[in-house]
Amino acid sequence: MAAMTTNVNPDLQNERNKATFDPIQLTYLLHNGPQQTRRKRYIQSLALSDRVKQNFRTWTELSREERYEESMKKCIYCAERVKELGLKDPVDIYIYNQMLTGHENSPFGLHNSMFTDVLTQQGTEEQKAKWLPLAKNYQILGTYAQTEMGHGTFVRGLETTATYDPKTQEFVLNSPTLTSIKYWPGALGKTSNHCIVIAQLYTHGRCHGLQPFIVPLRNLDNYQPLPGVEVGDIGLKFGYDAVDNGYLRLSNIRIPRENMLMRHSKVTEDGVFVKPKNDKLLYGGMVMIRSFITGDCGRGLSQACTIAIRYSSVRHQTEVTPGKGEEKILDYQTQQYKLFPALSTALAYLFAGNAIREMYLRVMADINKGALGELPQLHALSSGLKACSSYAANEMIETCRMACGGHGYSQASGFPKIYVNVTPACTYEGENTVLLLQTARYLMKCLNSSLQGEELPNLVSYLNKPTGGRTSTISDRLSLQSLVEAFEHRAARLIKECGSRIQTLTSRGMKPDVALNSTSVQLVKAATAHVECCVVKIFVNEVEREDINPQLKPVLQAVCRLYTVYLLLQNSGEFMQDGFVTGQQVEILNRKLLDLLNEIRPNAVAIVDGFDIPDAMLESALGRFDGQVYEALYQYARNSKLNKTEVSDAYYKHLKPFLDRQRQISTPSVVTSRL
Amino acid sequence: MAAMTTNVNPDLQNERNKATFDPIQLTYLLHNGPQQTRRKRYIQSLALSDRVKQNFRTWTELSREERYEESMKKCIYCAERVKELGLKDPVDIYIYNQMLTGHENSPFGLHNSMFTDVLTQQGTEEQKAKWLPLAKNYQILGTYAQTEMGHGTFVRGLETTATYDPKTQEFVLNSPTLTSIKYWPGALGKTSNHCIVIAQLYTHGRCHGLQPFIVPLRNLDNYQPLPGVEVGDIGLKFGYDAVDNGYLRLSNIRIPRENMLMRHSKVTEDGVFVKPKNDKLLYGGMVMIRSFITGDCGRGLSQACTIAIRYSSVRHQTEVTPGKGEEKILDYQTQQYKLFPALSTALAYLFAGNAIREMYLRVMADINKGALGELPQLHALSSGLKACSSYAANEMIETCRMACGGHGYSQASGFPKIYVNVTPACTYEGENTVLLLQTARYLMKCLNSSLQGEELPNLVSYLNKPTGGRTSTISDRLSLQSLVEAFEHRAARLIKECGSRIQTLTSRGMKPDVALNSTSVQLVKAATAHVECCVVKIFVNEVEREDINPQLKPVLQAVCRLYTVYLLLQNSGEFMQDGFVTGQQVEILNRKLLDLLNEIRPNAVAIVDGFDIPDAMLESALGRFDGQVYEALYQYARNSKLNKTEVSDAYYKHLKPFLDRQRQISTPSVVTSRL
């Protein structure tokens, strides 16, 4: 259980009593079985007890600068403690760190991920032998600097230069323009002493495109920036207080030739550029990260759902029937309509995250055997999933927050922190719209293949089905197959319409690039339809698995139906436009949706319990496992830093002198302390 | 002009040069003509020069506690300066304060609004004579405490008690439960020394419902809480740092009988309760506030649009045609599809805000003459507009932010602050879903009247038109009338379907309240459809006015068309479900939408210029009038508090000892400062 307590709010206990399945079964399903679940819980309890012993300061009490400092303290503690505990498995380490830090992003985050990953993937054996031990033993601390002030998603536009000087066998790095200043890389501002800088490589007067270079930033003895390095924090953001996202301006920084990561491209001693054998391999890392973001978004949303659903089952408001007492707000249809689709979406992206990760591992294994065939399909799907999952989480976390009324707006609820941590996922690792357009471009290629009678990869094979003249088989039975068909039909129609529009425009003499831009709104819709169709299929496959616990299965199937029906109704016009789905069918679905809300209602709390998110990770007064929300809100208020004194400093400094002046102006006799 | 500068980014200057109208014409339209525009600008420039002279500290540099303190300083300065300047007109004072404080909410905000308003509206002449001068001269500082931990929107459920003691002729106030603790009232925590407390009145053992009581909170000489008063700040929220939203627990607080505001209800000396003559009058204040929120949401969204559109016309990203340079991101169709609907929505709610305010003033004037007829219609519309405007602003401010990529996530962009200030509008002054259900209940009453052949108020008279068998006249001409008709039809259909469903459910024996809850998802949709229909009509009326500048008129008409077409397409299923709008018509609209984006494109910057929001109010590196965004972002970063020293405190305290320990563990020879 997320927390054992003898003092559970009876409202919440009643919810748990009436559930038709054991939440642990869902936990097992989401966390790869009983053994891994036990391991997860064991590591979490270790981290939690360490966290309590270390007595870290409460996040809400701290200023931004203190948050950075406290988080530094935490990640240093983690680094040493993980070694002490002998944790080796990356999953164990991830769980330990995450539990210890709550959901703060840490100043060591990029060192442990991007910095070491890029070294591993793009360094030669020699380079890895030199740098990886340094990185893994924290003898250097690094980050990854790609984004510049003027360029983010359009990576080719980066302006930082690295010019090879054959005389000294060094690269000379420069930020030639204001817009070329690196901006945003995490932990760049104050934490890192090294950095992988992505720069345009010049040798013998020619540009050879972007390459990664290891650049030392700070003197390891006193941490002063090295000569020619202007580096600092970029100031307050929406969130991410604990991370020193930084800027970096380079002026004639010289680094040895060996500091260019040369596993793929090379520069010889005399400055000859040697091209990589296969460009596609470079995509691997990007695909991996985007795949992981999908699951992260599912997890962020599942946290928000946990908070909102538990709170809604202890919060009472409004007497519907006079004299019968105030209802639990979870019993209002409108509340269910906000929270259960969010719940179903969280599950959809948890499953999709698992599926894409498995697909990634399979495709990578194939690639290592030389088979690159599935890479385009994986790339397109991972881009699209990243976009759709982050948009959905972004929107629905806020829906969950607002469904908790005023208290949702307090940091005590935990929502604001979840939101500001998840929302950047819409932007980083490829801006969502740009990613959806990449997915769309892949779909356009598939469409052309299909028109030429070629075989299509399995995820887009629906493009080969005829679209004209067919109608949906959706009926009162609400078979999942009929819903999947509808999603395939909608995606196919939108993709084909994009294809015809582009063809029409180009046949009228428009350049292909311009025609693409003139179709981009529709292309985004088509890509979204494709991705949603894939998510629906993944979800359906998951809930039809033979090995699911028989009590859990019907519950998950209801949630899957809700996800599908809700998504269809949110976009019903797209399903109806060519008459595939009829008005009558939409009416059926509207009715079924309400039935599904009722069907899910008794298990809502059990489902979020099944996410198995400990209180210490939620850090929410509203989402507590024991449901004692009002006591927690009251304690939260009392702990406000402004309450350290009964009378605030602002009173003595400003308010008292002002009130004194006002008394002197007016008749003094009127105001007395007796008022 | 928002700001005069000699160094405007040429990209932005080009945008301004190609506009087909003078932005000042839009400014006049939105600000009631040239004279009021000049007045507004004059007051703004006064405030701005004061602000510069006073040298207030930058918001992003401050901790939460410092934000509270700095804001206190600002509002004290405002209070005294406004007197010194002799400003009397509430609009002048509002503009001055707003410009001086940026968009921070201030610790005096509730004193100057709710506290004095409630005194004015609910105090007797005697009470007003006593308390208003004290309040207006800041001899007391007050706030308004209604919301409790356990009750927000369901006001009747409040638990605080005020029991009359005829022996001493006093009320005794108590917080009888944990959930009855007042929670959320602004400026309650540390600022206010008085408070209007809403409590359940008990006299002679009977409860007479909620009444307002003036309760002193703090000793005026030393600001210590008075005996029996436990009061404090509620801690960090999503935003609103400058306001000390507070909690309040009352234990046997005695106040004189005269401290109950008795304009409406009364308690005599011997404890007899006297009912008010007319309950409806109590709604006036609520209607007013909700009306104002509509305009505020329009203004918040117009700020976000100003930032996003100016930035998008100086930001270049991605070469569409190789060799032709990177495009302005505003030239991407997908970017226009995000920003121009937001722009049109901002204008829609600015106009709707003006319209509902005028309606409010007219209805109030009628009420003072004894005519209450229009009050229900006004109440229903103001509730619905508040909900729809805040939802729309909430969603689209975030769309604008994310459309600016990574930089949107920096506080330098100004977006996060706008968002956290606007989003509470979805919750306060009546939670949006609850308000839409109130609107829906009114619509159900109108439907019944219509079925009984009664005449309907003008805004709902479309319910009398037949719905069956009709089809839309939408065509390539895109007449506004055909679009209005479609919105009327959709609203009428949804309202009528709710009516039938409720009738079916009750005829099967379901209790009316339960039937309403079982229909509430559809009722919310019906209410939204009604409100959107009203907004479309207001917008259409506005752009068809005879007296609009002839250059401006076609521009506004295009924006109005876009608003309407976009909104229709977002909900196309609802328009198509009964066949009123056909798939072919939706196809036309999809095409027209893209044409409208093109049509608006050349005037986008001019339109946001026309909002006339000074740089000092936007406080955005991205939204600057001069478009020098990169210089501003660079300066913003350099000013980060973490950059006060080259090497951070966290290094000396935590990182250095850690790195030293790591060096000792590994071979010392490997790591040198030369690395």
pLDDT of residue A4: 47
Residues from chain A that touch B338, judged by Cβ atoms under 8 A, are 433
Look at A189 and B640 and tell me if their CB atoms are within 8 Å. Answer: yes
Of the residues B66, B258, B395, B429, only one is catalytic, namely B429
Report the pLDDT averaged over residues B262-286. Answer: 83
Q: In Å, how far from its chain's centre is CA A643?
A: 35
Q: In Å, how far from its chain's centre is CA A272?
A: 41
pLDDT of residue B280: 59
Q: Which of B151, B636, B662 sits opposite A235 (nearest CB)?
A: B636
pLDDT of residue B675: 41
Look at A234 and B637 and tell me if their CB atoms are within 8 Å. Answer: yes
Nearest to A343 by CA among A392, A278, A275, A290: A392
pLDDT of A278 higher than 70: no
Look at A408 and B427 and tell me if their CB atoms are within 8 Å. Answer: yes
Look at A642 and B189 and tell me if their CB atoms are within 8 Å. Answer: yes
Please state the φ and ψ torsions of residue A147, each to the nearest 5 degrees. -60, 140
Looking at residue A48, its amino acid is L
3-class secondary-structure state, position B470: coil
Residues from chain B that touch A675, judged by Cβ atoms under 8 A, are 134, 140, 194, 216, 220
Residues from chain A that touch B414, judged by Cβ atoms under 8 A, are none
pLDDT of residue B263: 93
Look at B236 and A653 and tell me if their CB atoms are within 8 Å. Answer: no
Q: Which two tokens stand for residue A105?
A: 């992003």
Answer yes or no: are the C-beta atoms of A626 and A3 closer than 8 Å. Answer: yes
CA gap A470, A630 in Å, rounded: 55
Q: Which residue of B has its CA nearest to A71?
A: B650
A98 CB neighbour count, 10 Å cutoff: 18
- Chain B from 249 to 308: CB within 8 A of any A CB: none
Split at pLDDT 50, 70, 90, the class of B283 is low
Does B427 reach chain A within 8 Å, measured CB to CB?
Answer: yes
Interval B78-94: pLDDT, tens: 999 999 999 999 999 99
Interval A362-376: pLDDT, tens: 988 888 888 878 889
pLDDT of B268 higher than 70: yes
Q: Which residue of B has its CA nearest to A338?
A: B521
pLDDT of B674 higher than 50: no
Look at A68 and B648 and tell me if their CB atoms are within 8 Å. Answer: yes
Q: Which two tokens stand for residue A639?
A: 């702990």
Interval B320-332: pLDDT, tens: 888 889 999 999 9
Which residues of A carry a binding-site annotation for FAD? 147, 186
Split at pLDDT 50, 70, 90, the class of A19 is very high
Split at pLDDT 50, 70, 90, the class of B669 is very low
Of the residues A69, A429, A431, A497, only one is catalytic, namely A429
Please state the φ and ψ torsions of residue A383, each to the nearest 5 degrees. -60, -50
Look at A650 and B68 and tell me if their CB atoms are within 8 Å. Answer: yes
Interval B610-645: pLDDT, tens: 999 999 999 999 999 999 999 999 999 999 999 999
Mean pLDDT of chain A: 94
Q: How many CB pairs under 8 A join A and B?
A: 405
Preferred mutation among B178, B217, B236, B524 to probe A, highest tally of A CBs within 10 A: B236
Nearest to A108 by CA among A188, A223, A19, A208: A188
Interval A201-230: pLDDT, tens: 999 999 999 999 999 999 999 999 999 999
pLDDT of residue A291: 86
Look at A576 and B577 and tell me if their CB atoms are within 8 Å. Answer: yes
Mean pLDDT of chain B: 94
Interval A305-319: pLDDT, tens: 999 999 999 999 998
CA gap B445, B186 in Å, rounded: 36
Does B424 reach chain A within 8 Å, measured CB to CB?
Answer: yes
Interval A645-672: pLDDT, tens: 999 999 999 999 999 999 887 654 444 4
pLDDT of residue A97: 94
Answer yes or no: are the C-beta atoms of B291 and B360 closer than 8 Å. Answer: yes
Buried-state track B438-470, b at ≥16 Cβ within 10 A, e below 16? bbbebbbebbebbeeeeeebebbebbeeebeee
Preferred mutation among B177, B642, B670 to probe A, highest tally of A CBs within 10 A: B642
Q: Which of A426, A513, A639 sits opposite B321 (nearest CB)?
A: A513
* Residue listed under structure tokens 């608003």: B563
E runs forming strands in A70-226: 142-145, 161-165, 170-174, 182-183, 194-203, 206-216
Annotated active-site residue A646? The verdict is no
Does A152 reach chain B within 8 Å, measured CB to CB?
Answer: yes
pLDDT of residue B282: 59
pLDDT of B319 higher than 90: no
Residues from chain B that touch A631, judged by Cβ atoms under 8 A, are 178
Looking at residue A658, its amino acid is F
Does B601 reach chain A within 8 Å, measured CB to CB?
Answer: no
Residues from chain A that touch B587, judged by Cβ atoms under 8 A, are 577
- In sequence order, what are the residues at sequence separation of 6 or more whose Cβ sits closer than 8 angstroms to the Cβ of residue B205? none
- Chain A from 478 to 517: CB within 8 A of any B CB: 511, 513-514, 517
**Domains, in order of start, for chain B:** 139-276 (2.40.110.10), 285-456+478-608 (1.20.140.10)
pLDDT of A282 higher than 90: no
Interval A441-471: pLDDT, tens: 999 999 999 999 999 999 999 999 887 778 9
User: How far are the Cα atoms of A604, B38, B159, B256, B522 from residue B173, in angstroms, in the given order?
Assistant: 40, 50, 11, 11, 42
Report the pLDDT averaged over residues B504-526. Answer: 95
pLDDT of residue A674: 42
pLDDT of residue A102: 79
Residues from chain A that touch B191, judged by Cβ atoms under 8 A, are 655
pLDDT of residue A446: 97
Residues from chain A that touch B675, judged by Cβ atoms under 8 A, are 134, 140, 194, 216, 220
Residues from chain A that touch B221, judged by Cβ atoms under 8 A, are 673
Does B76 reach chain A within 8 Å, measured CB to CB?
Answer: yes
pLDDT of residue A372: 78
DSSP secondary structure, B228-254, as one string: TEEEEE---BSS-TTS--EEEEESSEE
Please state the φ and ψ torsions of residue B511, each to the nearest 5 degrees. -65, 145
Four-CA torsion B556, B559, B564, B570, nearest 10 degrees: -170
pLDDT of B2 higher than 50: no
Report the pLDDT averaged over residues A160-188. Answer: 98
Interval B416-440: pLDDT, tens: 999 999 999 999 999 999 999 999 9
Nearest chain A Cα distance for residue B183, angstroms:
9
Interval B285-300: pLDDT, tens: 778 888 899 999 999 9
Does A184 reach chain B within 8 Å, measured CB to CB?
Answer: yes
Look at A577 and B569 and tell me if their CB atoms are within 8 Å. Answer: no
pLDDT of residue B516: 92
Interval B108-122: pLDDT, tens: 999 999 999 999 989
Preferred mutation among B78, B153, B648 to probe A, highest tally of A CBs within 10 A: B648
CA gap B576, B87 in Å, rounded: 54
Interval A525-536: pLDDT, tens: 999 999 999 999
pLDDT of A675 higher than 50: no
Does B129 reach chain A within 8 Å, measured CB to CB?
Answer: no
Preferred mutation among B429, B654, B656 to probe A, highest tally of A CBs within 10 A: B654
pLDDT of A573 higher than 70: yes
Residues from chain A that touch B654, judged by Cβ atoms under 8 A, are 69, 72-73, 76
